[in-house]
């Protein structure tokens, strides 16, 4: 098709499919791996890559000074994410590998294992089935800037680097309380993690190198290297305070590692605002449309425009609106579908409010190919909704809207002529709230990635929260857990 003669209209279903199946990100990852590995048969390589289907598995490195909790955090993460736990020590446990034998020969001579050999060991281990299918969490590596650069060069760079941090005095006190079970290799602590089993307690021994002087030397070495390591990975690391309860640290670590890197894929916002009457959907939609130049699609306004334009569907809708009856869903969807399929919505995106109101309408909207990629529920208590609506009135002369509490009329004569919309009467507002509560739960079950917003606060604060959830990717879900509300 000649785009200069007629605009090329791309069906909205194509964009939805591409986003749902991450087509752009898959292609980007394939090309990236292709350039790193440079296989002799690129086509077969790409086919094998697609068969692995492992672009979303965790690839995490946990760094930190001695006694910062790297081992504990790595174990907890692996348990939560069903990933493989790797340490520099267990990389040397495979006696079959030639690289492991070479590394052990260095170790047997009390020599440092070369960085290039470490990088080869890691690449070899990450090629195993468990790491490919489930992902991995590597603890305490890289230790130097050179090791980090080698990871990048051989294509084994992690997606997230967690850097645990705490004051040196705290770390020294922690390290002196470490105890190890020589049978299992498990690490315990005299103050924070003492085993309940008396038999295990008897077996615990004090590990080497935990004295104050030796810990101080290790801290100096760590501080000398960590800055150079982070310069290698400037965009994928996050420092987390390790001087707090373990579960608090884990919560922050999980929040970070489940966050997705910002995609370079073309993004068209398709936003749905849902909430009870008085929650501020129209205002937030106006804010979003103004700032991001997306189309503000109000269901009620679209229906009124169809009636005013005397379209075929508008003529069918007109009797329902004149008699204050609910417009049938199929007619509403016909009008909305026409609006959402226009070029401005397809290219700039849209923010929809007023539809759907229940799961049946949401199903119809999705079946028509108009699936939102951000769903916000604006939550307010019923008494706040009633207060916001039942106390607002309109000046029939100027058209200005006032509120008895938040924006009273400026003069007595204006106050006297104010009129209330019949739908804002307290009894009718309560009826609308009851209808909302009946449908809200089933609609939340229909949409999997609902984001709840506390709308009982300053509208600009509400907007800032909504905006932050639009510009950032949605976090990944922990395997086996339901989506968080």
* DSSP states of 316-347: HHHHHHHTT-PPPHHHHHHHHHHHHTSHHHHH
Mean pLDDT confidence for 463-474: 84
* Residue 295: predicted pLDDT: 93
Q: Which residues contact 257 (CB under 8 A, 6 or more apart)?
A: 58, 60, 77, 81, 160, 162
- Asked if residues 276 and 269 have their Cβ atoms less than 8 Å apart, the reply is no
Look at residue 373 and tell me whether its pLDDT is greater than 90: no
At 191, is the pLDDT very low, low, confident or very high (cuts 50, 70, 90)?
low
Q: Indicate the average pLDDT of the chain.
A: 84
State the average pLDDT over residues 221-247.
92
Token code pair at residue 135: 């992902």
pLDDT tens-place string over residues 104-137: 888 888 888 899 999 889 988 888 888 888 999 9
DSSP 1-66: --TTTS--PPPHHHHHHHHHTTHHHHHHHHHHHHHHH--S-HHHHHHHHHHH--TTS-EEEEE-ST
Between 60 and 205, name the one with better pLDDT: 60
Burial 131-154 (b: 16+ CB within 10 A, else e): beebbbbbbbbbbbbbbbbbbeeb
Q: What number does CATH give the domain 270-471?
A: 3.40.50.300
Residue 485 pLDDT level (bands cut at 50, 70, 90) = very low
Question: CB of 242 within 8 A of CB of 69?
Answer: yes
Mean pLDDT of all residues in 31-53 = 83
Query: What's residue 475's pLDDT?
Result: 64
Query: What is the third-level CATH fold of 60-257?
Result: Rossmann fold (3.40.50)
User: What is the value of pTM for the model shown?
Assistant: 0.62
Domain with CATH 3.40.50.300 in the chain: 60-257, 270-471
Of 224, 218, 184, the closest CA to residue 204 belongs to 184
CA dist., res. 73 & res. 95, Å (int): 28
Tell me the Ramachandran region of residue 54: left when phi exceeds 0, alpha when psi lies from -120 to 50, beta otherwise.
alpha
Compute how many other C-beta atoms are within 10 angstroms of the C-beta atom of residue 78.
20
Query: Residues 140-151: what's their mean pLDDT?
Result: 92
Q: Give the confidence band of 482 by pLDDT, cuts at 50, 70, 90.
A: very low
């Amino acid at each position: 098709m000649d785009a200069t003669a007629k605009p090329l209209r791309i069906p909205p279903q194509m964009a939805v499919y591409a986003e749902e199946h991450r087509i752009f990100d898959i292609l980007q990852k394939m090309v990236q791996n292709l350039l790193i590995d440079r296989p002799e048969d690129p086509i077969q390589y790409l086919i094998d890559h697609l068969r692995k289907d492992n672009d979303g598995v965790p690839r995490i490195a946990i760094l930190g000074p001695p006694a910062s909790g790297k081992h504990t955090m790595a174990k907890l993460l692996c348990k939560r994410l069903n990933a493989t736990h790797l340490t520099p020590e267990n990389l040397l446990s495979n006696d079959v590998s030639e690289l492991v034998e070479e590394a052990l020969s260095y170790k047997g001579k009390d020599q440092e294992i070369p960085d290039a050999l470490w990088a080869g060991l890691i690449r070899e281990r990450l090629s195993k089935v468990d790491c490919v299918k489930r992902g991995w969490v590597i603890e305490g590596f890289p230790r130097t800037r050179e090791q980090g650069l080698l990871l990048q060069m051989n294509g084994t760079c992690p997606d997230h680097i967690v850097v645990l941090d705490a004051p040196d005095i705290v770390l020294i006190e922690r390290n002196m309380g470490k105890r190890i079970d020589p049978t299992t290799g498990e690490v315990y602590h005299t103050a924070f993690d003492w085993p309940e089993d008396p038999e295990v307690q008897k077996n615990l021994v004090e590990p080497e190198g935990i004295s104050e002087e030796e810990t101080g030397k290790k801290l100096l070495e760590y501080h000398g290297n960590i800055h150079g390591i982070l310069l290698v990975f400037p965009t994928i690391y996050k420092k987390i305070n390790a001087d707090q309860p373990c579960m608090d640290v884990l919560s922050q670590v999980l929040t970070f590692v489940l966050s997705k890197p910002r995609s370079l894929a073309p993004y068209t916002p398709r936003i749905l605002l849902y909430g009870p009457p008085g929650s501020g959907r129209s205002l937030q939609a106006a804010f979003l449309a103004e700032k991001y130049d997306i189309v503000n699609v109000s269901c009620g306004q679209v229906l009124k425009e169809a009636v005013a334009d005397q379209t075929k569907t508008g003529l069918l809708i007109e009797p329902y609106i004149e008699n204050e009856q609910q417009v049938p869903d199929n007619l509403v969807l016909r009008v909305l579908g026409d609006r959402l399929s226009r070029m401005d919505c397809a290219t700039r995106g849209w923010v929809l409010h007023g539809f759907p109101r229940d799961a049946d309408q949401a199903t119809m909207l999705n079946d028509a190919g108009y699936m939102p990629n951000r769903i916000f529920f604006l939550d307010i208590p019923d008494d706040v909704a009633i207060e916001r609506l039942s106390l607002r009135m309109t000046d029939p002369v100027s058209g200005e809207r006032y509120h008895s509490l938040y924006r009273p009329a400026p003069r007595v004569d204006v106050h006297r002529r104010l009129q209330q919309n019949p739908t804002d009467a307290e009894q009718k507002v309560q009826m609308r709230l009851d209808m909302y509560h009946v449908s809200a739960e089933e609609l939340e079950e229909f949409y999997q990635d609902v984001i709840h917003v506390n709308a009982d606060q300053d509208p600009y604060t509400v907007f800032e929260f909504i905006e932050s959830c639009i510009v950032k990717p949605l976090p990944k879900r922990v395997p086996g857990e339901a989506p968080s509300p």
